[in-house]
Structure 1
Amino acid sequence: MPVSKTLEAAISELWAAVNRLENAVDMRIERQREAADVDQEVRRVHADRAKLAQELDQSELRANRLEEVNREVSRRLVTAMETIRAVLDR
């Protein structure tokens, strides 16, 4: 095999290797970009979860307060009805 053919084959192999390396680097960069996107999405999900947990806690507190107020109103209504009955019975 002549030297020029051997040199051409070596250069061709070198270019093929460089192309494979560039492709591998591009894929690696894309995977890192995707991983960063996933990390960002995970942070958003955690922030949303924390916000929802806080809102749930506030809703539960409000529901408890409403339940207490409801019991108090019910107690007062019963007292008022008993008072009205007592007045009417006299």
Structure 2
Amino acid sequence: MPTDKSLELAISDLKFAIGGLENAIDARIERQRMGAEVEGEVRRVHADRARLAQELDQSEFRANRLEEVNREVSRRLVTAMETIRAVLDR
């Protein structure tokens, strides 16, 4: 019966098409999931960058402050040495 064969062929083609559609949907869902993971990772990287930039700013501030204190200590030591020399030279 040719009608039965064409019906079986049509059903087979339909099953094949549905399988392809299911595979395409699964692939799309997986790409979306991976995209969401990438977006989350990008957000984490930006947050880390902001935190590191803030820490760098704080470190630079501390380094500048230490440099200022170092210069002041050095100036005071020079003044003290000059005073001691002046006393010893008398």
Q: Which runs of 5+ in 1 are unaligned?
A: none
1:16 deviates by 0.2
Match of 2:4 in 1: 4
TM-superposed deviation, 1:88:
0.3
1:26-52 residue CA offsets vs partner (Å, 9 max, x unmatched): 000000001000000000000000000
Give the fraction of aligned pairs with identical amino acids, expressed as a percent: 79
Give the TM-score of the pair, scaled to structure 1.
Answer: 0.98
What does residue 56 of structure 1 align with? 56
Amino acid at match of 2:53: A
Aligned-residue CA RMSD (Å): 0.7
User: Which structure 1 residue ranges, 4+ long, deviate > 6 Å from structure 2?
Assistant: none
Letter paired with 2:8? E
Which SS does the other structure have where 1:7 is aligned?
helix
- Cα distance between partner residues in 1 of 2:37 and 2:20: 25
* TM-score (norm: length of structure 2): 0.98
Partner AA of 2:30 in structure 1? E
For structure 2, list consecutive stretches of 5 or more residues without a partner in the other structure: none
- Aligned residue runs from structure 1 range 1-90, under 5 A: 2-90=2-90
Equivalent residue pairs, number = 90
